[in-house]
Amino acid sequence: QVRQMAMSFVPKLNREGGPAGLVAVGQDLSEVSELKFVQARKSALMAMLSHEIRSPLHGIMGLSGALLDSEVGKSIAKQLRMIHACSDRLLDLVTNVMFLAQQEKHQLDKTEAPRPSEPVSFPALVDEVMTLTRIAVNKSGRQLLKPNVKLVNNASSMVLPMVPGDRQKCTQLLYNLLTNACKFTDKGSITVSARFLAEKKAFEIDITDTGGGISEEGQRRVFQPFEQETSGDSRSFQGVGLGLSVCTEIVKLHGGELRLASELGRGSTFTVSLPCDGSLGLAEKVVPEPALTAPEAPPRPATPAAPVPPLSLKLLDRPPLVLSVDDDEVNQEVVKNAL
């Protein structure tokens, strides 16, 4: 049987100080090597399974959405919405698992993932994620946002710099934090605010809720994979406990930090701090809903429309030419239904 050993040799000296031999100290690393091999295979398997699961999930969501919009689907609209909601939750889980598997692979290979550097507009991003959070549902098909909870967007109307990062990952980060706050907040508000700290070259965004808060013991555990404030059979909330650990890894990928301040009975504040020196320019402000409307302008005299050339009319009658490249027949069907 072949074993892997780590050996250290130390010279043994006699009374006169001359060499008298060697002292060898060995450590058996075979089990460590086997463990690393198993972890590498596990990471590769998780990445492969996540990819293979995601493709049919998109098909389920696309086809159920198409049925929901059709005349046939009106009689089973409730069931179709439940199918779509379950698929959406499963897709979130697969996305989280895939990301954690990628980060674990980087750690095993002792390589550092490149830091994202594309300009990200957080005013627009927060407004978009707020909309997604309002329509998010739980496993029962009920909205995550409770009727007595108000979503407050104090970030989108501020003058903020563009932040270097990955827009998709930042969307996942904010969505995880907001939906997590929705789960634990029964009344009050969930507020998003942001600030640029020029002297620290940092951009910070807060997600503050008026929920039940997290105990000190729970605060030490919630950022670990598969952990919640209450674990085991005493769990009172759905989910496998990956959302906050994914947030931690996304923030690390951007070279930032994720902080938590919480007190039982007084809510929680999650603070995301990302490196930003303001050199990418300013992001455009976004007016949160309801959007402001401009005063009505005085009516103008009607002008006759310009005649349309006969060639344009012929072009309008022709169906658009769309090229869809996908090796999955289900996804091809989803594209056809969308067209």
Domains of the chain in start order, with CATH, are 30-109 (1.10.287.130), 119-228+241-275 (3.30.565.10)
DSSP character at residue 282? B
Task: Round to whole Å and give the CA distance between 134 and 146.
Answer: 10
Q: What is each CA distance from 26 to 10, 97, 262, in whole angstroms?
A: 11, 38, 48
Is residue 36 predicted with pLDDT exceeding 50? Answer: yes
| 213-224 per-position pLDDT tens digit | 998 888 888 888
| 103-158 per-position pLDDT tens digit | 777 676 677 778 899 999 999 999 999 998 998 877 667 888 999 999 999 999 89
Q: Cis omega before residue 164 (within 30°)?
A: no
β-pair type (188-197, 149-153): parallel
Calculate mean pLDDT across residues 268-286: 94
Per-residue burial over 307-329, b = 16 or more CB atoms within 10 Å of its CB, e = otherwise:
eeeeeeeeeeeeeeeeeeeeeee
β-pair type (188-197, 257-262): unpaired
pLDDT level of residue 34 (50, 70, 90 thresholds): confident
pLDDT of 295: 43
pLDDT of 202: 96
| 69-85 per-position pLDDT tens digit | 888 888 888 888 878 77
pLDDT level of residue 230 (50, 70, 90 thresholds): low
| 258-273 per-position pLDDT tens digit | 999 999 989 999 999 9
Which tokens sit at 161?
Answer: 């710099």
pLDDT level of residue 288 (50, 70, 90 thresholds): low
pLDDT level of residue 197 (50, 70, 90 thresholds): very high
Percent of the chain scoring above 90 in pLDDT: 32
pLDDT of 234: 42
Is residue 6 predicted with pLDDT exceeding 60? Answer: yes
pLDDT of 283: 93
